[in-house]
């Protein structure tokens, strides 16, 4: 019998928790590709194996993290609990969930991580639970697996709990449930911002153009999903109205960032001279570079088109206790573009692009190319490709770029590297 060494088991638990937190950022990062995600996921799985090999000790240490308010430990604890099917362990985990968004996210991630055949019965129980929070976990995990929650989804759409209804509304779009479009449309005028956004997001994916003015209005609010609303609206719109809205946003300094993001979503090379001008602005230079890449496909760092941080740029938070700027630098993982070098590159390559055509990382948007971007693109580019595929054929499930990397490889017909 192998001797259990607590320090090693603790290390497995801490590393799995750290990597899970890292992964939560990676899936939305501009500089990671699928292969990077697979490497992180394989490392997580290795540490989970270390916890599994130590049986009860592994679960105990994960629970100790929770007792210290280290909520990231919920992911590993939930994985071990749901895998074994031990109801007492599962109830302990779920009992912690009701008052914590972090715990809710950890349980959902665990259920989405494990193979569906292992969690199907657990999801069935969650979907019929009296707690709206637990039903929300069931719907979220089912949707990430792209499995239909059935009547539980229909009931949630008509429910009074706004968080549950918002998650159900988003699941409709993720699953491509065209038959539930009318229920989604009823929420386009919801007083709850998150429900209204989720309804508009899903309605857009299901082909409803009435979603566009709602998304445009949400883009003007101070909400965390304003940029997501902007991107989906631009990709849902035809080229002419999209270009007009982008121009309107560009004329207002408060909406300049949304205009830059919109230019990348539109994908029309006509907007590149304007993007080059935005690279002069410290607060917009990097996101303008990302939009330039979204259209042209050029890798600014790899092609030696990177420059120095522009003078006048300030990023928080700093170490100064009197500094009131506590916001993180949302563009920290984007390269600083060298405008002169990028202008030269564009002068040499502009003949390869046709104005009035929409591009995604260097080629006109088309089905085969979008499938290829899912294989080779960076995470934000892959998310854009997944959206474009659904917008062109409403009613199909949205490809899940947040799913475990090895599962994505299987879905894309790639060699699984585990």
Name the nearest CA neighbour of 215 among 191, 227, 393.
Answer: 227
Gap between the Cα atoms of 262 and 384, Å rounded: 12
pLDDT 10s digits, 220-278 = 999 999 999 999 999 999 999 999 999 999 999 999 999 999 999 999 999 999 999 99
126 token code pair: 């969650």
In 3-state terms, what secondary structure has residue 306?
strand
Gap between the Cα atoms of 271 and 268, Å rounded: 6
Gap between the Cα atoms of 261 and 275, Å rounded: 10
Per-residue pLDDT at 325: 47
Give CA torsion, residues 366, 369, 375, 377, to 10 deg: -90
Q: How large is the average pLDDT for residues 72-84?
A: 85
Q: In which band, very low, low, confident or very high, does the pLDDT at 322 lie, cut at 50, 70 and 90?
A: low
Name the nearest CA neighbour of 291 among 250, 254, 329.
Answer: 250
In 3-state terms, what secondary structure has residue 153?
helix
Give the Cβ contact number of residue 390 at 10 Å: 22
Question: What integer best gives the mean pLDDT of the chain?
Answer: 91
Give the residue with greater pLDDT, 297 vs 3. Answer: 297
For the chain, the structural domain boundaries read 1-145, 185-237, 252-310+333-348
Cβ(187)–Cβ(218) under 8 Å? no
pLDDT 10s digits, 183-228 = 999 999 999 999 999 999 999 999 999 999 999 999 999 999 999 9
Gap between the Cα atoms of 399 and 389, Å rounded: 9
Is the pTM higher than 0.85? The answer reads: yes
Per-residue pLDDT at 231: 98
Gap between the Cα atoms of 191 and 340, Å rounded: 47
Tell me the torsion sign for CA atoms 165, 168, 173, 177: negative
Residue where the block lists tokens 């638990």: 13
Strands (E), 62-144: none
Gap between the Cα atoms of 153 and 180, Å rounded: 10
Mean pLDDT lowest for which of 52-66, 220-234, 292-306, 399-413?
52-66
Cβ(263)–Cβ(271) under 8 Å? yes
Give the residue with greater pLDDT, 320 vs 268. Answer: 268
pLDDT 10s digits, 338-369 = 999 999 999 999 999 999 999 999 999 999 99
pLDDT of residue 108 exceeding 50, the answer is: yes
Name the nearest CA neighbour of 105 among 188, 27, 219.
Answer: 27
Residue where the block lists tokens 């390559």: 349
Give CA separation, 128 vs 164, 307, 340, 410, in Å: 13, 55, 60, 31
Per-residue pLDDT at 1: 42
Q: At what angle do helices 285-296 and 379-392 cross, to 10 degrees?
A: 50
Q: How large is the average pLDDT for residues 47-55?
A: 85
Per-residue pLDDT at 90: 86
Q: How large is the average pLDDT for residues 114-134?
A: 96
Per-residue pLDDT at 4: 58
Per-residue pLDDT at 10: 82
C-beta contacts of 123-128 below 8 A and 24+ residues apart: 123/147, 123/149, 127/152, 128/152
Name the nearest CA neighbour of 73 among 106, 30, 41, 97.
Answer: 106
Residue-level length of the chain: 418
Give the Cβ contact number of residue 199 at 10 Å: 29
């Amino acid at each position: 019998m192998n001797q259990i060494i607590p320090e090693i088991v603790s290390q497995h638990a801490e590393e799995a928790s750290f990597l899970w937190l890292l992964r939560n950022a990676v899936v939305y990062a501009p500089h990671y590709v699928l292969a990077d995600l697979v490497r992180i996921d394989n490392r997580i799985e290795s540490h989970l194996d270390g916890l599994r090999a130590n049986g009860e000790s592994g679960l105990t240490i994960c629970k100790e993290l929770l007792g210290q308010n280290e909520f990231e430990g919920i992911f590993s604890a939930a994985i071990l609990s749901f895998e074994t099917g031990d109801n007492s362990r599962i109830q302990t985990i779920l009992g912690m969930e009701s008052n914590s968004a972090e715990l809710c996210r950890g349980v959902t991630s665990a259920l989405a991580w494990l193979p569906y055949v292992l969690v199907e019965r657990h999801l069935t129980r969650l979907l019929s639970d009296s707690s709206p929070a637990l039903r929300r976990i069931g719907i979220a995990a089912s949707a990430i697996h792209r499995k239909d929650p059935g009547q539980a989804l229909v009931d949630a759409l008509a429910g009074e709990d706004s968080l549950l209804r918002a998650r159900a509304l988003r699941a409709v779009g993720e699953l491509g449930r065209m038959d539930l479009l009318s229920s989604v449309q009823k929420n386009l005028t919801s007083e709850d911002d998150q429900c209204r956004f989720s309804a508009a997001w899903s309605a857009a994916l299901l082909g409803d153009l009435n979603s566009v003015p709602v998304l445009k209005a949400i883009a003007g609010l101070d909400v965390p999903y304003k940029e997501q609303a902007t991107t989906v609206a631009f990709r849902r719109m035809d080229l002419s109205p999209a270009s007009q809205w982008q121009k309107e946003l560009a004329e207002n300094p408060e909406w300049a960032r949304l205009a830059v993001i919109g230019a990348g979503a539109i994908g029309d090379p006509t907007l590149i001279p304007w993007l080059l001008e935005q690279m002069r602005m410290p607060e917009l230079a990097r996101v303008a570079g990302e939009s330039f890449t979204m259209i042209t496909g050029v890798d600014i760092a790899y092609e030696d088109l990177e420059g120095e941080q522009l003078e006048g740029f300030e990023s928080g938070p700093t170490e100064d206790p009197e500094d009131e700027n506590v916001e993180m630098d949302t563009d920290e993982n984007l390269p600083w573009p060298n405008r002169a070098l990028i202008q030269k590159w564009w002068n040499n390559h502009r003949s390869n692009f046709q104005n009035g055509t929409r591009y995604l990382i260097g080629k006109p948007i088309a089905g085969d190319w979008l499938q290829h971007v899912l294989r080779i693109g960076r995470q934000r580019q892959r998310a854009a490709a997944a959206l474009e595929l659904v917008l062109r054929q409403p009613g199909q499930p949205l490809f899940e770029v947040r799913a475990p990397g090895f599962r994505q490889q299987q879905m894309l017909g790639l060699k699984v590297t585990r």
